[in-house]
Amino acid sequence: MLGWGVVKGLGVTFRHFVETYVEDIKYFTKRGMGQTLLEYRMAPESRGIYTMQYPKEKPVIPERFRFLPFLVTNYEGPEADKRREANRCTSCGICAKACPPQCIWIVRTTNKQGRPVPQPADFHIDMDICMNCGYCAEFCPFDAIIMDHDYALADEKREPDHVFGLEHLLKPAGYYHEIRPAQFVAREEERRLAEEEKRRKAAAKAAALAARKAAKNKEA
Ligand code: SF4
Ligand code: SF4
């Protein structure tokens, strides 16, 4: 029928209009549920339309939201040297290889003999090139690079502000826990189990070696 599509479209608009008020009334009758109106309206099961007074009000960010990557340090204090020392990154370079637009640069540390030390001397990410894919965080074997929730980064200059260096990238593990609690707990458990398995294998190897030595001594 001619014009049926328009009627259907208006019907959708009208449904959203009514649902907006229904949801607001539902929220105010259920007050005390521990959510703000914005949290309630942003939940996937909520219907209708809502507005947000940004930047006075900020959206509720789901745990899996990803913006730009940051590096994790196990030191929670403000001292820059300790933050660097407790950096989880081993400068293995896997994230830089996996990054599709190649916006990660890592400078490896070497000791006096020129041997590699598992610590980055510097680490840069060009945030204007980063496409927020999260591959670096997916591929890192040490849970050392994580996708951040901080999206309010607008400023006036590209350089050096948008090419983040090591100092800028390092954030404490406590912050990681705060923004991604479920992932943090799951990955820490994985790391703990992997460490346990490594220790168990090392102990078994040492025991086997000791047994072989004892057997040899007996024969002699
Ligand atoms: S962040 Fe992870 S993958 Fe990237 S260099 Fe450091 S340890 Fe390797
Ligand atoms: S999020 Fe993607 S594009 Fe950005 S640094 Fe990581 S791998 Fe590269």
Tell me, yes or no, whether 73 and 51 share the same domain. Answer: no
With helix as H, strand as E and coil as C, how does 108-164 read?
A: EEECCCCCEEEEEEEEEEECCCCCCCCHHHHHCCCCCEEECCCCCCCCCCCCCCCEE
**3 state DSSP class of 107:** strand
Residues 90 and 158 in one domain: yes
Q: Is 144 in the pocket of ligand 2 (CB under 6 A)?
A: no
Measured in Å, residue 157 CA sits from the centre of ligand 2 at 21
**Same domain (yes/no): 12, 98:** no
Domain shared by 1 and 46, yes or no: yes
**Cα-based angle 78, 91, 174 (whole degrees, multiple of 5):** 35
- Across the range 149-161, mean pLDDT stands at 79
- State the pTM of this model: 0.80
Q: Is residue 2 very low, low, confident or very high in pLDDT (cuts 50, 70, 90)?
A: confident
- The SS3 of residue 70 is strand
Same domain, 75 and 18: no
Mean pLDDT for the stretch of residues 39-44: 88
Residue nearest to atom 5 of ligand 2 (CA): 130
Residues 111-125 have a mean pLDDT of 91
Assess whether the C-beta atom of 145 lies below 6 angstroms from ligand 2: no
Q: pLDDT tens for residues 6-36? A: 999 999 999 999 999 999 999 988 776 778 8
Dihedral in degrees, nearest 10, Cα atoms 50, 53, 56, 62: 30
Distance set, CA 144 to CA 130, 156, 159, 200 (Å): 17, 29, 25, 24
Looking at the domain assignment, is residue 154 inside a domain? Answer: yes
- Residue type for 63, please? E
More confident residue, 33 or 198: 198
- 83 and 138 together in one domain: yes
For residue 151, give its domain range.
69-179
Closest residue by CA, ligand 2 atom 6? 136
User: Do 30 and 89 belong to one domain?
Assistant: no
Ligand 2 centre distance from Cα of residue 105 (Å): 11
Q: What is the mean pLDDT of the chain?
A: 91
* CA 59/CA 140 separation, integer angstroms: 29
pLDDT of 33 reads 72
Instruction: Work out the pLDDT band at 135, boundaries 50, 70, 90.
Output: very high
Identity of the amino acid at 194: A
pLDDT at 159: 66
- Nearest alpha-carbon partner for 90 in 121, 136, 130: 121
* Side-by-side strand order, sheet with 104-110: 104-110, 116-126, 163-164
Q: What is the average per-residue pLDDT within 109-116? A: 89
Structural domain contains residue 220:
no
Same domain, 53 and 74: no
Q: What is the CATH number of the domain that holds 166?
A: 3.30.70.3270
The confidence score (pLDDT) of residue 193 equals 95
pLDDT digits (tens, 9 = 90+) for 75-92: 998 899 999 999 999 999
Candidate from 89, 104, 130, 143 with most ligand 1 atoms within 8 A of CB, to mutate: 89
More confident residue, 137 or 59: 137
Percentage of the chain beyond pLDDT 70 is 98
**Percentage of the chain surpassing pLDDT 90?**
68
212 in any annotated domain: no
Q: Is residue 217 part of a domain?
A: no
Ligand 1 site residues (CB inside 6 A) read 89-95, 106, 140, 142, 144-145
Position 160 scores a pLDDT of: 65
Q: How confident is the model at residue 188 (pLDDT cuts 50, 70, 90)?
A: very high
